[in-house]
């Protein structure tokens, strides 16, 4: 929506909020949306409990809330991330991780997205003990307020602060980004993530062309006005779903023990 009191609110979020309010549980709302959308795969929110992502900065200051962290001034480095209050992950999430053949840590907002999910009680422990291969898909671009100046190795190092050292492989892009889109991102303080990773005994680095090349209609859709309250950032430079899926699936175990989860 771009007008009135709904300015900046997405339809999807509005539906989830309404269903959560009706059912009293976010997981029930997600399940209802999946049924309505015809999604057959299992989709689980990490928790039904309410909490906020919080950060302790290098100067000792504490900041609570995603946008408060992103928009902090000055952008003092984050020393530690935590949940306020601490909450447990859904048992179904931990069971799914335990039964999986492969766990993929997806690209997104590194601090307030990917790592925030890992902070729910039980998640890191479940990933540490699962027999699944653990892959991390590194971001294509830095995100202002979160990963300013981060290289691929710093993304991985920051992730390991919370996950530990169990990352079996990292997928990084070596495909060409459109110069006009890179220039557009630069105007907003975002730069391509430089790959400075090398494989070692703990983690294998997989480099391939993973970037999507959007057509004119897609570019127009993602640059249209989104409302004053829609602070979603840029989404023009993205991973190509088919390319990324193909790379991930090459690392799924083919032994009889593999169950395809």
Q: What local confidence, expressed as pLDDT, does residue 222 receive? A: 67
Count other Cβ atoms within 10 Å, centred on residue 131.
Answer: 11
Domain assignment present for 110: yes
Residues 104 and 229 in one domain: yes
Instruction: Please indicate, yes or no, whether the overall pTM of this predicted structure exceeds 0.85.
Output: yes
Looking at the structure, tell me whether residues 16 and 113 fall in a common domain.
no
**What does the pLDDT look like over 203-245, one tens digit per residue?**
999 999 999 988 877 777 666 655 554 455 677 899 999 999 9
114 shares its domain with 203 = yes
- Pair (120, 2) in one structural domain: no
Q: Which parts of the chain sit beneath pLDDT 50?
A: 229-230, 255-259
| Residues 102 and 219 occupy one common structural domain | yes
> 25 in a domain, yes or no?
yes
Query: 28 and 110 share a domain?
Result: no
Cβ(171)–Cβ(105) under 8 Å?
Answer: no
User: Do residues 27 and 146 both lie within one domain?
Assistant: no
Does some domain include residue 72? no
Q: Are residues 132 and 236 in the same domain?
A: yes
pLDDT given at position 63: 97
Q: Specify if 68 maps to a domain.
A: no
Q: Are residues 92 and 38 in the same domain?
A: no
Q: What is the DSSP letter of 43?
A: -
Distance CA(85)–CA(66), nearest Å, equals 14
Structural domain boundaries enclosing 170: 88-250
| Neighbour-count burial of 62, counting CB atoms closer than 10 A to its CB (0-12 exposed, 13-18 middle, 19+ buried) | exposed
Q: Is residue 207 part of a domain?
A: yes
**Same structural domain, 25 and 107:** no
Number of structural domains the chain divides into? 2
The enclosing H or E element of 22 equals helix 11-23
């Amino acid at each position: 929506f771009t007008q009135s009191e709904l300015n900046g609110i997405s339809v999807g979020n509005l539906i989830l909020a309404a269903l959560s309010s009706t059912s009293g549980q976010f997981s029930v709302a997600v399940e209802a949306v999946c049924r309505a959308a015809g999604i057959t795969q299992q989709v689980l929110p990490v928790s039904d409990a309410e909490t906020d992502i919080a950060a302790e900065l290098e100067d000792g200051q504490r900041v609570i809330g995603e946008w408060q962290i992103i928009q902090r001034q000055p952008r003092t480095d984050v020393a530690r991330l935590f949940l306020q209050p601490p909450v447990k992950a859904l048992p179904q999430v931990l069971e799914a991780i335990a039964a999986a053949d492969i766990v993929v840590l997806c690209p997104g907002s590194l601090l307030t997205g990917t790592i925030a999910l890992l902070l729910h009680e039980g998640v890191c422990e479940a990933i540490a003990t699962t027999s699944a291969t653990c892959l991390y898909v590194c971001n294509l671009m830095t995100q202002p307020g979160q990963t300013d100046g981060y290289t691929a190795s710093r993304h991985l190092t920051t992730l390991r602060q919370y996950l530990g050292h169990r990352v079996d492989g990292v997928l990084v892009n070596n495909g060409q980004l459109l110069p006009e889109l890179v220039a557009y991102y630069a105007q907003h303080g975002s730069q391509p993530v430089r790959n400075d990773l090398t494989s070692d005994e703990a983690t294998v680095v997989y480099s391939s062309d993973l970037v999507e090349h959007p057509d004119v209609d897609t570019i127009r859709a993602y640059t249209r006005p989104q409302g004053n309250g829609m602070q979603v950032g840029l989404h023009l430079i993205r991973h190509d779903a088919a390319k990324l899926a193909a790379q991930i699936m090459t690392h799924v175990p083919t032994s009889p023990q593999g169950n395809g989860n």
